[in-house]
Structure 1
Amino acid sequence: MTSPVPIVRLLAALLCALFAATPAAAYWEYGHETVARIAMDSVKPETRREIQALLRQGRLLDTPTCPVATIEQASVWADCIKPLGDRFSHAFPWHYQNVDICKPFSLKEACKDGNCVSAQVERQARLLADKSVPVRERLSALAFLVHFVGDLAQPMHAGDRGDRGGNDVKANYGLIGGRANLHSIWDGYLPERAITTPPAGARALLDAVPPSERPAMAAGSVEDWSRESWQAARDFAYGSLLGEPCGPLPTERPTLTEAKVQALIAPVRMQVVKGGLRLARLLDEALLEGKAPAPRRD
């Protein structure tokens, strides 16, 4: 007799396919929450206390439908506030940077006027680090920072082919078709599959990386991380689906097969771990050292 659990998962996935991610969606809840939990488990105890003290001031944000009582809630706050309209519409472009994977890497055009995810990671880290900034603004900076580092770890928020982060590339995730596309696959279906593959969850993903290797994963600049995620978009996202990342799109919807999904589980898990460790480093530097990336002078 077939177990009911796979059937429930299939039905849930089919429902998700009917309401696939729009350009405003970002890494769905599961990816963001896992990145945030890895970071919270990796920061220094003093940093954790600073984070918890800020999160206790959640009422100051005046977004009761989007609480930030936990680091997991804070990690999805930047998506939760999107329906609030004009209050936060200015932040819509901050979740991504559409850097062409078929041209040499450059953030200049994608980050004009600071309206891209990497520039906002740096900006929010500076706001968080500055204790002269009002608590309300530092708290929103914390929530934005936690979210945007998660976004930057998702390759389809770092590189594309002029197709709105893969939203215009119709694709099947195994048997799931409908309105699914390359972006929704990498925002939701694939990271959920990767994170829930045993050993599952944030702690298991972090434990798989020896402590001696973690500092190297967290090293580098935000631009370095952007380039790495852009390369992952080319090699893993477009490459796995299309074969040739910059080749012509197929006439029929391409399918990310089970074999391809299996091959992507390890790289996706590593993207999540790197996001968590890099976020932890930024939080330690901002909250304990008052340190953050300097403003860009492009």
Structure 2
Amino acid sequence: MTHRSILLAAAAILCLPSSALAWGQLGHRTIGELADERISGKTRAEIELILGEEDLAEASTWADEQRSNPDAFWQKEAGPYHYVTVPESKTYGEVGAPAEGDALSALARFAATVRDRNASREEKALALRFIIHIVGDVHQPLHAGNGTDRGGNDVKVRWFGQETNLHSVWDSQMIEGQGLSFTEYTKWLGRQIEPAETIAWWEPNPEVWIGESTQIRDTIYPEASEGMPNLGYSYQYQHLATAELRLQQGGVRLAAYLDWLFAPNTGATQ
């Protein structure tokens, strides 16, 4: 199958909107696997005490898989925990979390649960799985939305001729069009990460990640045109490297955050 055929087939399969599913399974699992290769031995042991044999790649998609769970937590509370809203020319520190919470407030809440000696293993497992997912979420630029278009869901586009929306292009269609499994993508992206980049990216503060996402977000909207923008090879050429960079950074940051989370005497939570 040619590269173009792979892209077209993926677009046909993935053309339906995924209103708040950052990266899809491929992206989240790639971030989880990249992190799994970089966490400390102590962190790995702490995670095993909570999740058993479940690795970070497997845990990374759980929070999306629970969206159909009829429990009130999933149906009435957890939705906003997948994204933040930062209007253009603002920072997260200036706007903060809304009353219903967001990804960053949830991250702090779940970190506290993981560290709570009185929390049950079940409570810690939910919290840890959500942490793994949230770190990936906020590295997707459209999960730091501007508050005007539901993180690009309202921006209708065609991707290689198939009707979809900008959010879905970034969640899944652009990276899944490469025709790689998450283990292949992890190997491909992981070997490109230089030691100096790991050091530079080793940042457990989520406000830094969100600031990066908002800066990228404002550069990825297609130019205004009559009718629905038709995105394809040119858009991919301009932005695929950025999407892959965010996967790489997400993997490094997830490792950094988990090492921070399980470090003794860490201090104030992020």
TM over 0.5: yes
Structure 1 residue 116 corresponds to structure 2 residue 113: no
- 2: CA distance between counterparts of 1:40 and 1:157? 23
Residues 144-293 of structure 1 aligned to structure 2 (within 5 Å): 144-160=130-146, 162-175=148-161, 177-178=162-163, 180-193=164-177, 196=180, 200-219=184-203, 221-235=205-219, 237-238=220-221, 241-242=222-223, 249-289=224-264, 291=266
- 1: CA distance between counterparts of 2:2 and 2:243? 27
- 1: CA distance between counterparts of 2:96 and 2:209? 15
* Contact 2:80–2:100 under 8 Å retained in 1: no
- 2: CA distance between counterparts of 1:194 and 1:15? 14
Q: Deviations over 1:27-66 (max 9, x none)?
A: 2111110111111111012211221232128xxxxxxxxx
Question: Paired residue for 2:30?
Answer: 34
The alignment yields a C-alpha RMSD, in angstroms, of: 2.6
Q: Secondary structure at the match of 2:263?
A: helix
Pick closer, same or farther for the CA change 1:284–1:173 going to 2, 3 Å: same
Residues 75-90 of structure 1 aligned to structure 2 (within 5 Å): 75-85=60-70, 86-89=72-75, 90=77
* Contact 1:194–1:269 under 8 Å retained in 2: no
Counterpart AA for 2:32: A
Counterpart AA for 2:249: K
Question: Paired residue for 2:86?
Answer: 99
Counterpart AA for 2:18: A
- 2: CA distance between counterparts of 1:193 and 1:9? 4
* Contact 1:286–1:292 under 8 Å retained in 2: no
Question: Paired residue for 2:55?
Answer: 70
Higher normalized contact order (CA 8 Å, seq sep 6+, divided by chain length): 2
Counterpart AA for 1:189: Q
* Contact 1:159–1:234 under 8 Å retained in 2: no
- 1: CA distance between counterparts of 2:17 and 2:5? 20
Identity %: 28
* Contact 2:204–2:257 under 8 Å retained in 1: no
Indicate which of 13, 16, 19 corresponds to 2:14: 16
Pick closer, same or farther for the CA change 1:5–1:256 going to 2, 3 Å: closer
TM-score by length of 2: 0.88
How many angstroms does 1:110 deviate by? 5.8
Pick closer, same or farther for the CA change 1:294–1:45 going to 2, 3 Å: closer
* Contact 1:38–1:206 under 8 Å retained in 2: yes
Counterpart AA for 1:217: W
Give 5+ residue unaligned stretches, structure 1.
Answer: 58-68, 243-248
Aligned length: 267
Further displaced range: 249-258 or 279-288: 249-258
How many angstroms does 1:117 deviate by? 1.2
- 1: CA distance between counterparts of 2:92 and 2:4? 43
Q: Secondary structure at the match of 1:42?
A: coil
* Contact 1:76–1:147 under 8 Å retained in 2: yes
- 2: CA distance between counterparts of 1:45 and 1:254? 48
How many angstroms does 1:270 deviate by? 1.0
Indicate which of 111, 121, 124 corresponds to 1:138: 124
Pick closer, same or farther for the CA change 1:193–1:10 going to 2, 3 Å: closer
How many angstroms does 1:288 deviate by? 3.1
Q: Secondary structure at the match of 2:156?
A: coil
* Contact 1:122–1:293 under 8 Å retained in 2: no
TM-score by length of 1: 0.80
- 2: CA distance between counterparts of 1:113 and 1:195? 40
Q: Deviations over 1:74-128 (max 9, x none)?
A: 1011111110132422111110112223x32345546123611122223222322
